Amino acid sequence: MFKRQFIRTTLVLALSLAASAVVHAQDKPLKIGVTAGPHAQIFEQVKKIAEKDGLKIQIVEFSDYVQPNAALSAGDLDANSYQHKPYLDQQIKDRGYRFAAVGYTVNFPIGLYSKKVRSLAELKEGARVGIPNDPTNGGRVLLVLQDKGLIKLKPDAGLKATPLDVIDNPKKLKFVEVDAAQLPRTLDDLDVSAINTNYALPAGLNPGKDAIAQENAKSPYVNLIALREQDKDKPWVGKLVKAYHSEDVRKFIQAEFKGAVVPGF
């Protein structure tokens, strides 16, 4: 009798401790990495929606494109939201990350800005063009320049085109590769610079008014939520994506950014 009671008491205690551990784990907020600017602003809204579903979020801001993936891989983040699929694919290839994409977020049509000319047609021979120094965003800009008739790329260059893939350059444009976050600072020195919207807005640039040319909004560069492969089936993932894809978040994006940032869901 005493033995059965002891076993029952021990079992109840063990279950109680296990339940306590689960509650504690749920109380720990998810760390979501974003770049400063629109991604951070949007996730502040996502955080509010997610909390209604019992999901606590801690937003961690970064100032570049490299660290959010490094932090995710190291386990310092639970997920990140700042990159498009071509960039993620390149990072996985280059660095061996074991990541999964679980939901689309927004698209930032990249813009070309200048303090020296009012249109691409005004660019003179030998003009210096600032482009992001990462392969996917650099290639993205070259495709825009090709679309605008300024250059021609090798037929098989694809999304990861580099200046080496340029086979026709009538104006002999010179490409200056710069870290994407630093491109707004190059406008005083270069003739034109291609700036991602999430860096243009904090720099006081309005893509709709200030860009002298812009990427087509229907592009393969829709951003996404990424996390470690081992976490993709965890219960919080569905709640996180659901919160982001809510109508309230969609309305916020449309009202706040007025077409400079486009919902991709």
Which tens digits make up the pLDDT trace of 148-158? 999 999 999 98
pLDDT at 259: 82
> Which CATH entry fits the domain spanning 2-108+221-263: 3.40.190.10, 2.60.120.280, 3.40.50.10140, 3.30.950.10?
3.40.190.10
For the record, the structure tokens of 28 come out as 């720990």
pLDDT at 16: 44
C-alpha–C-alpha distance, residues 140 and 154, integer Å: 14
Element (H, E) at 85: helix 85-95
Residue 244 has pLDDT above 60, yes or no: yes
The reported pTM is 0.73
Average confidence score pLDDT of the chain? 90
* More confident site: 218 or 56: 56
Q: What fold does the segment set 111-214 form as a domain?
A: D-Maltodextrin-Binding Protein; domain 2 (3.40.190)
Mean pLDDT of 214-230: 89
Mean pLDDT of 90-114: 95
C-alpha–C-alpha distance, residues 143 and 196, integer Å: 14
pLDDT tens digits for range 109-141:
899 999 999 999 999 999 999 999 988 899 999
pLDDT at 56: 97
- Structural domain spans, the chain: 2-108+221-263, 111-214
C-beta neighbour count of 207 within 10 angstroms: 23
Mean pLDDT of 97-102: 98
Backbone angles phi, psi at 79, to 5 degrees: -165, 165
Judging by beta carbons within 10 Å of its beta carbon (0-12, 13-18, 19+), is residue 245 exposed, middle or buried? middle
**pLDDT tier for residue 7 given thresholds of 50, 70 and 90:** very low
- Quick check: do 2-108+221-263 and 111-214 share a fold? yes
Residue 212 has pLDDT above 50, yes or no: yes
The answer to whether residues 75 and 216 touch, using CB atoms and an 8 Å cutoff, is: no
For the record, the structure tokens of 257 come out as 């950014």
pLDDT at 135: 83
